[in-house]
């Protein structure tokens, strides 16, 4: 039979642990003997106590932990053996508590040691009867307070990391006993285990609901009233037991999941902290899973003939790099006519969730995640000529085993073409040979289930690992009476002057700084509140006030400050503003930085440049890399054996190894032929030697016991003789069944060994990552300002909170889902400090956070209101806030739109009254009304399945051309629209009609466009923002927080039914009306917008004002800058621009004298007044002598 991992490990060479202190005393000697020698025996409680004393004597508990966790030794086994001797109440304090102190402490809580620590905790948790002893009468009473607190810390760690611990009745009973003794921390434990009885939640006007306007939705669905648990194999009462990646059963379950209503009327958890964690986890996960179910049902992205062709461990001996186990899956490309730009494509994204499905129905065979996505190598991986190849990791043991089976079958088929899974990736296979074998593979349809799950996963995982809500006084109980954060001194220095926070004078601060009154009030509110809310309407300088607050806190305190933004673009902008103020002690966490100023502060780059591993980390890394190499070799060997045919001695002992254990009499009987008899061998026909393998083959074929074997059958032991006769008396069919059973047993052993090695390899990869993270921690400790996206903050949560940043500032907080902010906060534990100050800067009256599932939004009316941000929830609950009131962006006519509808107290800064009029247009603000119908896209179209309007696209581009001819720069103009389909339409029109101009979109818009393309993302769309003469085209949603001098707006919707989609939402209208600084030109259908039953009331007052002021027209009013006396011309069709103003002026001939001496042949043009380029259009023959004219005519 096969060896265990430890037995295999003992055969390998590896580093030797000596410990940080070996004094030669008896306890240390016993400890090291028992740990390192598997033949040593722990005979008595005395040995167990000496073993424990040896653990305690090690100065470095981290080194002790690594020694116990080393697979070459017997650490976990010895821990179990030692605690088995614990049989009386006094033993708990003498034996269990010292062990727990060694394993659960500040040193072992570092990210570098959490994984081995959790494995040791799991070992203790699995000891039979350990909790029974702790639950015996008087055991808890006999513990000292310090011992009881150690036990509580251990239980909390176990409950957070081990699902079995959360469901253990003995642990629940133990926690109740600790609560009776008033031990600190037991209330949190009780909440984690959901021990409280269900209490009916009475909904009142002061309930901490997502909204507080009396319009609570009533739960009327059975699923909302029935508590979670039992619907499918991934439905649990405790949200920490839920697997992040959905299971087959969950995807196919027809019953809707339990989801918490915003009113909390269906709440089942009494503890409000845990209730909030539970609600945010379930709603966020449902947002991800709901779209997965839809994608499987609709099969939006299907790749045919998906087959597993090999295993992938991705281990590079030279660079010591390793990737977790994945299966190489090859697909048939459905893009036969067009090459895919895999570098830019959103198809098959890394960390995307995929499903292997029966091609003929919706049966799901397996769910997995894409862990290998390589596009750099020509002709290999995604660029393979026989179809793209990716690496997929499966999560369930049965899925892994099935995948191994199929990989072996398909590898055997590949072997017939003289290929294996690795060489196949890089080979140019003969088409005829490939056609012959292609249909023989075990294959499926592969459906792209989710390309965005990677962004959900770190947040969900962080929520499961949290035991409480930081700043719960404010965030959970809405108590704002906490006052000034404790870390802020009573007097702060601002612009080299000191100000008393308790005797604050707005006027004195205004004199010292160039701030308006609302900014000063917001600053004071922030410095005096543990949770500060600053509402910033459009153009009021939210980023400015955020960077100012950051600078003041940095200059007056020693706390590190973490700046959180939802998008990479917003994060770069915020950090740039700090950089411009002189801040250099910055670390940016995560990739995808586009700012040239901030790129050098990226954590990954700083880690490469500045950090050397500590000796401790180097030693650990060396051990991990060595074990990875060994593991890789073992997996390679086992994989090769799986494809070998099973025989008597192969692989690794074959069936003989099974019989040696299961039937040693028969084993010895058959093996006796391999021994010489009086110096002779037994031979058969052609003098061929008869050995044990030949004898076994005869037996499997049904032969009788050969005569030459009979002398070895009759032995003195009659029982042995009887067993051997019985063995040869078995009929042929039964023999075949037995042989197949032994082969299966051998096969199962190999599978088990392979599974163990796979698990070990992945654990080692994770451990290697933890070591790298520990190196990153050294840089973060020295940083004063840490920048991260919400997703990045959750992904790097362990190392970020090891440093416990005291201040968290969230930019555009109104756009961020609540769980993203919760997981960015640090909770108070035995080893970390709670976040001291949370500053939310945003505007809940602009766009809400995006959710994938419409039913979770407030607009759906289902009552979940998941798209209410923390910012909006707190403000609508009456939580104190400050509001910025002076806008610096828009000319007053534009700001009047949002002032009249949304911000009545908004003030225009004097500088906005000085903006110049838009050149060449009779109006600075205009709505061009038309009745050209919108277009939708059918299923066969290559465009996105959203709305578009061809007339508006052409009209907007002609307006842009005209504005460029007035002398405006490309970067001064932006084209906005609510629909991604119209963004693409506008780009297509711009490329066709203005070839010298480049259209580009933001990173967020590019992702949306690529995802929305009905045939997947291909090479037909590439955004190049750094090209000269580039015009920004954007969806309205992804332009929030940005501005442009002139905005040209295509509203798209034009129909008889009054259906206006996104434009019925007041927040979106607020954003689209507030992006322009000096000019706003909207193209749309007034009748459609006003007829909307849900949005008409928003648009009607806007049109009334535009009509009153003569800004509602049927055409675009152009005015010649050089001949304004001619008056405006109203252009209604795109082609009229070239007729009426071909060069941006009017149709009059220019006739100005060129430097060549001729008259300018162009029509009136307001630009190039010096005619530096106009001579190129002169076609008159030059009469100068000599005849060679310098102007080429």
Q: What is the pLDDT of residue 940?
A: 33
Coil, strand, or helix at residue 403?
Answer: helix
Task: Return the bridge partners of 368, or none.
Answer: 354, 394
Coil, strand, or helix at residue 60?
Answer: coil
The two tokens of residue 419 are 């290929």
38-47, 414-423, 428-437, range with greatest mean pLDDT = 38-47
CA-wise closest residue to 86 among 156, 36, 139: 139
198 has a pLDDT exceeding 60:
no
The two tokens of residue 1058 are 């009054």
The two tokens of residue 1186 are 């000599």
Q: What is the pLDDT of residue 679?
A: 56
The per-residue pLDDT for range 22-35, each reduced to its tens digit, is: 444 677 888 999 99
394-398, 644-648, 1100-1104, range with greatest mean pLDDT = 1100-1104
Coil, strand, or helix at residue 883?
Answer: strand
Looking only at the bridges linking them, the beta strands covering 785-789 and 586-588 are: parallel
The per-residue pLDDT for range 1058-1110, each reduced to its tens digit, is: 999 889 999 999 999 999 999 999 999 999 999 999 899 999 999 999 999 99
Distance CA 113, CA 1143 (A): 70
The per-residue pLDDT for range 521-555, each reduced to its tens digit, is: 999 999 999 999 999 999 999 999 999 999 999 99
The per-residue pLDDT for range 595-604, each reduced to its tens digit, is: 888 888 888 8
Residues 373-401 have a mean pLDDT of 81
Q: Do 445 and 359 touch, CB atoms closer than 8 A?
A: yes
Q: Do 1146 and 1158 touch, CB atoms closer than 8 A?
A: no
Q: What is the pLDDT of residue 214?
A: 41
| Burial (CB count within 10 angstroms: exposed 0-12, middle 13-18, buried 19+), residue 1138 | exposed
Q: 1132-1135 contacts: CB < 8 A, separation 24 or more?
A: 1132/930, 1134/951, 1134/954, 1134/955, 1134/957, 1134/958
HSE-CB for 41 with a 13 A CA cutoff: 2
74 Cβ contact partners less than 8 Å away, ≥ 6 residues apart: 6, 34, 35, 36, 37, 38
Neighbours of 684 (CB within 10 A): 12
Q: Do 262 and 217 touch, CB atoms closer than 8 A?
A: yes
The two tokens of residue 684 are 């058969």
pLDDT band at 1192 (very low <50, low <70, confident <90, very high): low
Q: What percent of the chain has pLDDT over 90?
A: 40
Unique residue bearing structure tokens 């089942």 = 268
Least confident of 380-389, 425-434, 977-986: 425-434
DSSP structural state of residue 93:
I
Cα distances (angstroms) measured from residue 804 to each of 445, 784, 838, 873:
47, 12, 13, 26
DSSP structural state of residue 673:
G
186-195, 356-365, 728-737, range with greatest mean pLDDT = 186-195
448-457, 459-468, 730-739, 794-803, range with greatest mean pLDDT = 459-468
Helices (H), 193-263: 222-225, 248-252
pLDDT band at 218 (very low <50, low <70, confident <90, very high): very low
Coil, strand, or helix at residue 112?
Answer: coil
pLDDT band at 757 (very low <50, low <70, confident <90, very high): confident
The pTM of the full predicted model, rounded to 2 decimals, is 0.85
Q: What is the pLDDT of residue 1184?
A: 55
**Between 420 and 994, residue with greater pLDDT:** 994
Least confident of 266-275, 526-535, 1000-1009, 1086-1095: 1000-1009
Looking only at the bridges linking them, the beta strands covering 807-810 and 998-1000 are: unpaired
Q: What percent of the chain has pLDDT over 70?
A: 85
1189 has a pLDDT exceeding 60:
no
Q: Do 549 and 839 touch, CB atoms closer than 8 A?
A: yes
- Give the per-residue SS3 of 775-798: HHHHHHHHCCEEEEEHHHHHHCHH
Residues 954-982 have a mean pLDDT of 94
Coil, strand, or helix at residue 1047?
Answer: strand
Distance CA 534, CA 832 (A): 28
Q: What is the pLDDT of residue 900?
A: 94
Distance CA 157, CA 109 (A): 10
1174 has a pLDDT exceeding 80:
no
Coil, strand, or helix at residue 20?
Answer: coil
What mean pLDDT, rounded, does the chain reach?
84
Distance CA 1012, CA 346 (A): 10
Least confident of 51-65, 213-227, 782-796, 935-949: 213-227
The per-residue pLDDT for range 871-917, each reduced to its tens digit, is: 999 999 999 999 999 999 999 999 999 999 999 999 999 999 999 99
CA-wise closest residue to 835 among 355, 473, 544: 473
Cα of first residue to Cα of last residue in the chain, in angstroms, is: 94
HSE-CB for 604 with a 13 A CA cutoff: 9
Largest CA distance in the chain: 131
pLDDT band at 239 (very low <50, low <70, confident <90, very high): very high
Q: Do 937 and 949 touch, CB atoms closer than 8 A?
A: no
Neighbours of 1168 (CB within 10 A): 15
Least confident of 144-148, 157-161, 422-426, 483-487: 422-426
């Amino acid at each position: 039979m096969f060896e265990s991992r430890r037995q295999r490990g003992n055969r390998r060479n590896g580093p030797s642990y000596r410990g940080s202190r070996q004094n030669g005393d008896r306890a240390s000697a016993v400890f090291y003997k028992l740990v390192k020698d598997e033949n040593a025996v722990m005979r008595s409680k005395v040995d167990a106590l000496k073993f424990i004393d040896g653990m305690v004597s090690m100065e470095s508990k981290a080194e002790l932990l690594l020694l116990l966790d080393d697979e070459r030794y017997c650490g976990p086994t010895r821990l179990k053996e030692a605690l088995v001797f614990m049989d009386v109440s006094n033993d708990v304090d003498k034996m269990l508590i010292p062990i727990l102190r060694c394993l659960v402490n500040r040193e072992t809580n570092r990210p570098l040691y959490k994984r081995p620590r959790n494995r040791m905790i799991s070992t203790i948790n699995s000891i039979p009867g350990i909790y029974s002893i702790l639950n015996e009468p008087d055991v808890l009473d006999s513990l000292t307070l310090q011992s009881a607190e150690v036990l509580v810390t251990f239980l909390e760690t176990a409950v957070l990391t081990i699902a079995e611990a959360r469901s253990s009745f003995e642990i629940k009973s133990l926690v109740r006993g600790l609560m009776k003794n008033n031990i600190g921390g037991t209330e949190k434990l009780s909440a984690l285990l959901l021990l409280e009885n269900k209490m009916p939640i009475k909904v009142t006007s002061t309930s901490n609901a997502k909204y507080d306007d009396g319009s609570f939705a009533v739960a009327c669905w059975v699923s909302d009233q029935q508590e979670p648990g039992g619907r499918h194999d991934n439905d649990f009462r405790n949200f920490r037991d839920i697997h992040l990646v959905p299971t087959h059963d969950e995807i196919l379950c027809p019953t809707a999941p339990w989801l918490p209503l915003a009113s909390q009327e269906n709440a089942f958890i009494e503890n409000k902290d845990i209730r909030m964690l539970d609600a945010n986890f379930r709603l966020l996960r449902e947002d991800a899973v709901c779209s997965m179910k839809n994608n499987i049902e609709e099969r939006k992205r299907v790749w045919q003939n998906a087959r597993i062709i090999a295993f992938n461990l991705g281990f590079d001996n030279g660079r010591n790099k390793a990737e977790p186990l994945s299966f190489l899956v090859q697909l048939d490309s459905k893009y036969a006519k067009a090459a895919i730009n895999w570098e830019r494509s959103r198809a098959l994204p890394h960390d995307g969730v995929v499903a292997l499905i029966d091609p003929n129905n919706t049966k799901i065979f397996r769910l997995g995640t894409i862990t290998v996505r390589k596009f750099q190598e020509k002709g290999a991986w995604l660029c393979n000529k026989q179809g793209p190849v990716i690496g997929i990791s499966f999560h369930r043991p049965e899925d892994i085993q099935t995948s191994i089976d199929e990989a072996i079958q398909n590898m055997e088929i590949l072997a017939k073409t003289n290929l294996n899974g690795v060489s196949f990736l890089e080979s140019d296979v003969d088409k005829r040979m490939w056609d012959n074998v292609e249909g023989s593979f075990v294959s499926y349809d592969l459906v792209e289930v989710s390309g965005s799950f990677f962004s959900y996963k770190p947040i969900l995982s962080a929520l499961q690992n949290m035991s409480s809500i930081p700043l719960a006084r404010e965030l959970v109980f809405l108590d704002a009476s906490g006052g000034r954060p404790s870390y802020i001194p009573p007097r702060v220095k601002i612009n080299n002057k000191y100000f008393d926070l308790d005797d604050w004078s707005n006027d004195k601060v205004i004199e010292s700084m160039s701030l308006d009154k609302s900014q000063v009030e917001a600053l004071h509110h922030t410095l005096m509140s543990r949770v500060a809310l600053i509402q910033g309407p459009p153009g009021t300088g939210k980023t400015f006030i955020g960077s100012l607050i950051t600078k003041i806190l940095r200059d007056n305190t020693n706390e590190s400050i973490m700046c959180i933004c939802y998008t990479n673009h917003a994060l770069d902008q915020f950090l740039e503003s700090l950089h411009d103020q002189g801040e250099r002690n910055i670390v940016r966490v995560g990739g995808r930085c586009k700012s040239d100023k901030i790129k050098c502060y990226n954590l990954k780059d700083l880690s490469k440049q500045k950090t050397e591993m500590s000796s401790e980390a180097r030693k650990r890394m060396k051990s991990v890399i060595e074990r990875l190499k060994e593991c890789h070799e073992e997996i390679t060997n086992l994989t090769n054996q799986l494809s070998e045919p099973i025989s008597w001695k192969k692989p690794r002992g074959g069936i003989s190894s099974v019989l040696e254990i299961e039937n040693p009499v028969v084993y010895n009987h058959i093996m006796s032929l391999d021994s010489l008899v009086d110096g002779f061998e037994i031979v058969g026909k052609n003098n061929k030697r008869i050995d044990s393998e030949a004898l076994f083959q005869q037996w499997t074929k049904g032969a009788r016991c050969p005569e030459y074997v009979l002398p070895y059958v009759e032995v003195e032991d009659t029982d042995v003789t009887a067993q051997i006769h019985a063995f040869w008396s078995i009929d042929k069919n039964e023999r075949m069944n037995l042989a197949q059973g032994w082969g299966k047993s051998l096969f199962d052993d190999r599978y088990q060994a392979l599974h163990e090695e796979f698990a070990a390899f992945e654990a080692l990869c994770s451990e290697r990552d933890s070591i790298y993270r520990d190196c990153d921690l050294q840089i973060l400790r020295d940083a004063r300002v840490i920048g991260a996206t919400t997703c990045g903050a959750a992904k790097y949560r362990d190392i970020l909170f090891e440093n416990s940043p005291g201040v968290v500032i969230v930019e555009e907080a109104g756009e961020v889902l609540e769980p993203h902010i919760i997981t960015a906060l640090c909770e108070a534990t035995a080893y970390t400090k709670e976040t001291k100050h949370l500053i939310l800067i945003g505007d809940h009256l602009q766009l809400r956070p995006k959710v994938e599932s419409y039913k979770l939004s407030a607009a759906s009316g289902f009552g979940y209101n998941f798209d209410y941000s923390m910012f909006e929830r707190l403000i609508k609950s009456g939580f104190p806030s400050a509001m910025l009131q002076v806008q610096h962006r828009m000319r007053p006519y534009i700001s009047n739109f949002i002032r009249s509808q949304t911000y009545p107290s908004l003030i225009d800064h004097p500088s906005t009254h000085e903006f110049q009029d838009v050149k060449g247009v009779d109006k600075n603000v205009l709505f061009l009304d038309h009745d050209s119908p919108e277009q939708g896209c059918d299923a066969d179209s290559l465009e996105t399945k959203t709305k578009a309007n061809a007339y508006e696209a052409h009209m907007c581009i002609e307006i842009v051309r005209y504005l460029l001819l007035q002398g405006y720069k490309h970067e001064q103009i932006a084209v906005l629209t609510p629909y991604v389909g119209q963004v693409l339409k506008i780009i297509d029109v711009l490329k066709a009609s203005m070839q010298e101009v480049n259209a580009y979109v933001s990173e967020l818009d590019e992702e949306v466009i690529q995802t929305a393309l009905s045939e997947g993302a291909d090479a037909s769309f590439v955004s190049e923002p750094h090209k000269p003469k580039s015009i920004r085209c954007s969806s309205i949603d992804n332009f929030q927080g940005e501005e442009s001098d002139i905005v040209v707006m295509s509203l798209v919707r034009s129909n008889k039914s009054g259906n206006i989609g996104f434009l019925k939402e007041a927040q979106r209208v607020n954003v689209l009306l507030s992006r322009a600084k000096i000019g706003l030109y909207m193209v749309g259908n007034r009748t459609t917008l006003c007829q909307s039953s849900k949005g008409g009331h928003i648009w009607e007052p806007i049109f009334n004002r535009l009509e009153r002021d003569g800004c509602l027209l049927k055409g675009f009013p152009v005015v010649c800058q050089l001949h304004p006396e001619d008056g405006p011309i109203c252009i209604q069709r795109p082609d009229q621009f070239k007729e009426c103003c071909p060069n941006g002026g009017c149709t009059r001939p220019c006739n100005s004298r060129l430097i060549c001496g001729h008259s300018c042949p162009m029509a009136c043009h307001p630009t190039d007044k010096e005619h530096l380029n106009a001579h190129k259009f002169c076609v008159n023959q030059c009469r100068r002598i000599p005849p060679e004219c310098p102007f080429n005519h």
